[in-house]
Amino acid sequence: MATTTAQLVITSTDLLSDTLSLSAIATLTNTGSSTGVTQTTGLSRIKTESNSQYTLYHGEVASFPLASQDQAAKIYIKNLSTTASQFITIHVNSEELGRLYAGDWAFIPWSIAADTSDIKITPSVSSALTIEHMLFFES
């Protein structure tokens, strides 16, 4: 059985009137069980060369060995740029989810549904920009 743990740690000494120390840990499991997710697309990188929209993942159950669209899936996306003004905009189909600026990353749940949940990115620049991404899902 695979065991995959996601951890987020947020700390700050000057954001609030008191020191902030927040930690959240989750083990990625299959839907409704304690069995760990066992599938991944592997860690990938895409180097964009234009500010056109790119599709990272097509929301089609047939694209993945899933029994149904209700199964667990999580997506990791990171903007590897070191230029502060460069960002990517994340879309789920035509709905804008948000922007990842240089060094920012996102870890989001994803509902894989037939042709209704494509994960897309749009770079802010037409020069080279590298995006790291990975999909975790159950089989």
In a domain, 17, yes or no: no
Cα–Cα distance for residue pair 40/62, rounded to 1 Å? 15
Q: Is the pLDDT of residue 103 over 70?
A: yes
Which CATH number do you get for residue 82? 2.60.120.10
Q: Percent of the chain at pLDDT above 70?
A: 88
In a domain, 14, yes or no: no
Query: Distances from the Cα of 115 to the Cαs of 60, 76, 92, 98, 109, in angstroms?
Result: 5, 20, 11, 21, 17
Q: Is the pLDDT of residue 113 over 70?
A: no
* Contact criterion met (CB below 8 Å) for 51 and 124: yes
In a domain, 94, yes or no: yes
Query: Distances from the Cα of 7 to the Cαs of 10, 74, 116, in angstroms?
Result: 10, 13, 29
In a domain, 49, yes or no: yes
In a domain, 5, yes or no: no
In a domain, 42, yes or no: yes
Cα–Cα distance for residue pair 119/112, rounded to 1 Å? 10
pTM: 0.87
Question: In terms of residue numbers, what domain contains 52?
Answer: 31-137
DSSP 77: E
Q: How many domains does the chain have?
A: 1
Please give the residue that has the higher pLDDT: either 68 or 10: 10
In a domain, 20, yes or no: no
Quick: pLDDT tens for 53-94. 999 988 765 566 555 566 778 999 999 999 999 999 999 988
Cα–Cα distance for residue pair 53/55, rounded to 1 Å? 7
Give the pLDDT of residue 65. Answer: 59
Quick: pLDDT tens for 16-34. 999 999 999 999 988 888 8
Tokens for 9?
A: 């740690």
- Overall size of the chain counted in residues: 139
